[in-house]
Amino acid sequence: MKFERSVADPCAYTRPHKDGQLYLTVHVDDMLLISPSDDARLWFEKDMESQFTITKQVNELSYLGMTVKKSKNGIIVHQRGYIDSMVSKYQADRESKTTSPTSADFLTYDDKDDKVDTTKYLGIVMSLMFLARFTRADVLMPVTFLATKSADPRQKDYNKAMKILNYVVATKSRHLTFRSNVDLRLAAYSDASHMLHADAKGHGGIIVTFGGTIVATKSFKMKLVTKSSTESELVAVEESVPYVLWILSLLQDLGLETKKPVKLLQDNLSAIGIIQNGGSFNRSKHMVARYGFVKQHMELGDVAFEHCPGEVMPADMLTKPLDGSRIKKLSELVNLVDD
């Protein structure tokens, strides 16, 4: 059919049509087509039907557990059907009023607590991870934390996973909104919490937005012990730049080049200062490679740093447990909103 495969993502394809560009993503035998017109869509469907029996959904459709729906001002994406299936599978509270996914003791671990079946534990944690990675970044941090306990899960860990699920049920109306009347600029937010884990390792968070809405997230336990909060922030920044470069490459493949440099927003002025101006060799020589990599892409014009006050830093919800009201406010900044 003469579609051209993306270099950045081998499951993404494009093809010119007289009415505009066709975009196609493929996952096994599921396809998502973005078409410039009904004529272009019908041409694609007719060609596919000459070889396969296909099931079609238009304008409101289900794709990889997500519902994708056109609205008056753009596109809405949610996973309410997937959440309902989790409620049935894990016997969650259908009428949950849970106001926060975490509690004061969330980061604690008790190796004297009763063990729980690993398969059972992985089932609920990975189901929550699928949801969090696609449409519910507001619970990605606590789910990521629970994933670090997969080798030796305890009953309290499973109870924490159920608390997250009950919170998701209580906030089931939350969804991503991609607005059609905005400038499609790429931006990235990077944040970190120093020494969050019991082994003194920090936790980082990255949010990438396109047109103001989340398109990529990462919440991760750092692989090394950092010596200061500034160094923790530098680790998170270094992790964020490859995400930005990859999405820039993908957008270029799709013919949707965005303006550069991409804003990389950070709330730690010391980290920004080291990247822009270099650090003291005596105090920060162990970080040279990290800020050298980032600085190189600043000089190439790929990214530019901008300070973002901590109170409006959406990536903060990916770095530490927060209460529900704080999560809601940060989520709204990146178009993860309630009905």
DSSP string, 190-251: EEEETT-STTS--EEEEEEEETTEEEEEEEEE-SS--SSHHHHHHHHHHHHHHHHHHHHHHH
Residue 295 lies in a domain: yes
| Whether residue 80 has pLDDT greater than 60 | yes
Report yes or no on 119 lying in a domain: yes
pLDDT at 336 over 50: yes
Spatial distance between the Cα atoms of 334 and 77, rounded to a whole number of angstroms: 13
Buried b (16+ CB within 10 A) or exposed e, 276-311: eeebeeeebeebeebbeebbebbeeebbebeebeee
Do 54 and 48 contact (CB within 8 A), yes or no? yes
Mark whether 191 and 158 lie in a shared domain: no
Tell me what pLDDT residue 272 has: 85
pLDDT in tens, 311-321: 999 999 999 99
The answer to whether residue 236 is domain-embedded is: yes
Specify the pLDDT at position 281: 42
Do 202 and 316 share a domain, yes or no? yes
Q: Is residue 9 located within the same domain as residue 140? A: no
Sheet containing 60-63: give its strands across: 60-63, 66-71, 74-78, 175-179, 336-337
Residues 105 and 17 in one domain: no
Residues in the chain: 339
319: Cβ contacts below 8 Å, ≥ 6 apart: 141, 191, 192, 193, 196, 203, 204, 205, 219, 236
**Judgement on whether residues 150 and 44 belong to the same structural domain of the protein:** no
Secondary structure of residue 161 in the 3-state scheme: helix
Whether the pLDDT of residue 73 is over 90: the answer is no
* 120/48 same-domain check: no
Q: What percent of the chain has pLDDT over 70?
A: 96
On whether residue 176 sits in a domain, the answer given is no
Which pLDDT does position 288 carry in this prediction? Answer: 60
**Are both 142 and 188 inside the same structural domain?**
no
Q: Tens digit of pLDDT for each residue in 111-167?
A: 899 999 999 999 999 999 999 999 999 999 999 999 999 999 999 999 999 999 999
CA distances from 201 to 45, 218, 319 (A): 51, 16, 12
Say which range, 23-37, 47-61, 160-174, 283-297, has the weakest mean pLDDT: 283-297
Domain count, the chain: 3
203 belongs to a structural domain: yes
CA distances from 202 to 197, 230, 233, 306 (A): 6, 11, 9, 23
In terms of domains, do 157 and 188 share one?
no
The pLDDT, as a whole number, for residue 111 is 84
* 89, part of any domain: yes
| pLDDT given for residue 276 in this prediction | 78
Range of the domain at 265: 183-334
Judge if 193 and 324 occupy the same domain. Answer: yes
Please identify, among 170, 202, 220, the residue that sits at the C-terminal boundary of a domain.
Answer: 170
Whether 65 is in a domain gets the answer: no
What confidence tens digit (pLDDT) does each residue in 248-291 have? Answer: 999 999 998 788 999 999 999 888 888 777 655 445 555 666 66
* 75 lies in some domain: no
Other Cβ atoms closer than 10 A to 224 = 10
pLDDT for position 131: 98
Long-range contacts of 44-53 (CB under 8 A, 24+ apart): 44/1, 47/1
pLDDT at residue 40 is higher than 50: yes
Looking at the structure, tell me whether residues 327 and 197 fall in a common domain: yes
Q: Select from 159, 181, 187, 179 the least CA-distant residue to 264.
A: 187
Across the chain, what does the average pLDDT equal?
Answer: 93
Looking at the fold, whether 235 and 188 belong to one and the same domain comes out as: yes
Q: For residues 188 and 328, state if they share a domain.
A: yes
